[in-house]
Amino acid sequence: MPDREKKLLSTTEKEASQALIQAFKENESGQVNTALNNPIAGSNEMTFYFSSIESDEWMLVMGRSKAVTEKHAGVLSYTLADIISDSKEVVGRYFISTIAFSLLAIIAAAVAASNMSRIYVNKLTAPIRTLTDKVEALRGDSLDFSWTRMGEEGDETEILAEAFGVMTDRIKEDIRHITEMTSERERIAAELSFAAEIQAAMLPPLTEEFTDGNGFTLYASMRPAKAVGGDFYDFFMIDPDHLAFIIADVSDKGMGAALFMAISKSVIRACALSGGSVGEVLKSADAILSENNEISMFVTVFFAVLEISTGKVAACNAGHDYPMVCFAEEEGERSFRILQEEHSMPLAFGLSGAKYPELSWQLSEGDRIFLYTDGVNEAQGRSEEQFGMERMLDVLNANMEKGDRELLAAMREAVGKFVGDDPQFDDMTMLLVTYRG
């Protein structure tokens, strides 16, 4: 047996020593629980802790009574339990505090983010709101638009503001042009209205005194397609027994036609009052109107002279529409029909040596002559179908018993119903003469 084992046996009881020696053989260090029997103190359970000492053959052994250990362990157990309990409470409080702090931190972060977002959004939307207010203020005559850069140079709001600035400048310029154009149109409209009054004044007045007791009745109407037109009619007494009546249509419409119409009317009347047959009158008028006619306008004319005492009519048709006449038949019945007889070229057509053949008719009491321009028979509606000669004859014959004024009113009404709401395409002029004998 080694010396250290002998020393151990000499200092402890045998059973305890043997237990330690056996444990030491098996391990370099450790502990052994054993009992020491003492006659006075009795059995005492011990715990021996041992470890070898490498410097020599000694082994360090420490012993501790189990009772003392349990006492201290109880204290330690209590202490640890309190520490654990307190730790749990502390940990719980710390956990709750941590959660509360985290929530507060999240809320604070959200508030901060919201404020930052609000600031950022306000920064972004402020120029848009300003631009919206400026655009909403653009109304009526208030079209001044100015913009001070609020964001980065070249951003979308600035580009849009510049576009609005350019747009308002253009609108103001357009308004200026429109104002000028409106003023000019009003001026032209006033001049056209005045020209229409002059043209109407050039037509002979329709008075009952002119026809009362003179062996005839007469009525005429003219409705220009524009403010002024190229159609005209005329009637006048060459002498107490001869009535001249004319209907004419200039080759254009509007102001130019109205001027040429005024010239033509004056020339034809002057030639008629100068004397000569109807053919000679138109030939003379053609020579005057063709001279210096650089605009190449012309006029179709139907010119007739009624000898009131005899009912004899001398007429000449210079390229105008055929007249519709109502002559007494052998049976005494009357109806309108188209009188298609020879006619010549229009006046101012520019053909040298043009001939103007004359026509002659004999009227009886109640016979009638209806003259018109192509604005009546060529009137058309949306179907593009013309009113036509047949419809004109139907209207004339259906209203044959009416007076001159009423018969022309019936024709205008029939044409108006046929055309409908479509604008008038051409000047519409009519003249009706009834021989009373």
Percent of the chain with pLDDT over 90: 36
The pLDDT value recorded for residue 76 is 42
Position 146 scores a pLDDT of 63
Among candidate residues 86, 88, 29, 89, the one with its CA nearest the CA of residue 59: 29
Q: What is the CATH number of the domain that holds 273?
A: 3.60.40.10
Q: Supply φ then ψ for residue 158, to 5 degrees.
A: -65, -40
Mean pLDDT of the 394-422 span = 93
- The β-bridge partners of 50 are 30, 61
Give the residue from 129, 160, 175 where a domain finishes. Answer: 129
Q: Which range, of 183-187, 249-253, 292-296, averages the lowest pLDDT?
A: 292-296
For residue 243, pLDDT over 90 is answered with yes
Joined tokens for residue 158: 């600035």
- List the domain range (segments joined by +) for residue 192: 137-202
Answer yes or no: do 328 and 223 share one domain: yes
> Which residue has better confidence, 422 or 303?
303
Q: Answer with the residue of higher pLDDT: 154 or 432.
A: 432
Residues 289, 403: one domain?
yes
- Are residues 148 and 294 both part of a single domain? no
Helix (H) or strand (E) holding 141: none
The per-residue pLDDT for range 73-82, each reduced to its tens digit, is 454 444 445 5
Instruction: Point out the least confidently predicted range of 4-13, 104-113, 166-175, 352-361.
Output: 4-13
**Which pLDDT tens digit goes with each residue over 159-187?**
666 666 676 777 777 777 888 888 888 88
Q: Residue 317 has what pLDDT?
A: 97
Chain centre to alpha carbon of residue 372: 45
If you average pLDDT over residues 241-257, what whole number do you get? 90
**C-alpha span between 415 and 122 (Å, rounded):** 70
Give the domain-ending residue among 145, 168, 202: 202
Same domain, 339 and 405: yes
Q: Confidence class of residue 9 from pLDDT cuts 50, 70 and 90?
A: very low
- Do 100 and 5 lie in one domain? The reply is yes
State the Cα–Cα distance between residues 6 and 159, nearest whole angstrom: 107
DSSP secondary structure string for all residues of 364-419: -TT-EEEEE-HHHHT-B-TT--B-HHHHHHHHHHHTTTS-HHHHHHHHHHHHHHHH
Across the chain, mean pLDDT equals: 77
Confidence of residue 376 (pLDDT cuts 50, 70, 90): very high
C-alpha–C-alpha distance, residues 156 and 160, integer Å? 6
The SS3 call for residue 341 is: coil
- 10-14, 131-135, 183-187, 227-231: which has the highest mean pLDDT? 183-187
Domain boundary among 150, 184, 202: 202
327 and 408 co-located in one domain: yes
Quickly state the pLDDT bin for 411 (edges 50, 70, 90).
very high
Residues 13-61 have pLDDT tens digits of 566 667 767 766 776 677 777 766 654 445 667 776 666 655 445 565 5
Same domain membership, residue 160 and residue 94:
no
Half-sphere exposure of 384 (CA within 13 A, CB side): 0
Sign of the torsion angle spanned by Cα atoms 38, 39, 41, 43: positive
Q: Name the burial class of residue 130, with classes exposed (0-12), middle (13-18) and buried (19+) by CB atoms within 10 angstroms of its CB.
A: middle
Note whether 369 and 323 are within 8 A (CB): yes
Report how many domains make up the chain.
3
Is 388's pLDDT higher than 70? Answer: yes
Q: Are residues 196 and 83 in the same domain?
A: no
Q: Is the pLDDT of residue 91 over 50?
A: no
For 349-355, what is the mean pLDDT? 81
Same domain, 303 and 373: yes
Task: Tell me: do 151 and 253 sit in the same domain.
Answer: no
The 8-class DSSP code of residue 151 comes to S
Q: Say if residue 82 is in the same domain as residue 195.
A: no
Show the DSSP H helices in 203-241 as ranges. 208-211
Ordered alpha helix ranges (H), 203-231: 208-211
pLDDT range class, residue 8, cuts 50, 70, 90? very low
369: burial class by Cβ within 10 Å (0-12, 13-18, 19+)?
A: buried
- 357-367 residues labelled b (16+ CB within 10 A) or e (exposed): ebbebebeeeb
* pLDDT band at 265; cut points 50, 70, 90: very high
- Statement to judge: residues 273 and 321 lie in one domain: yes
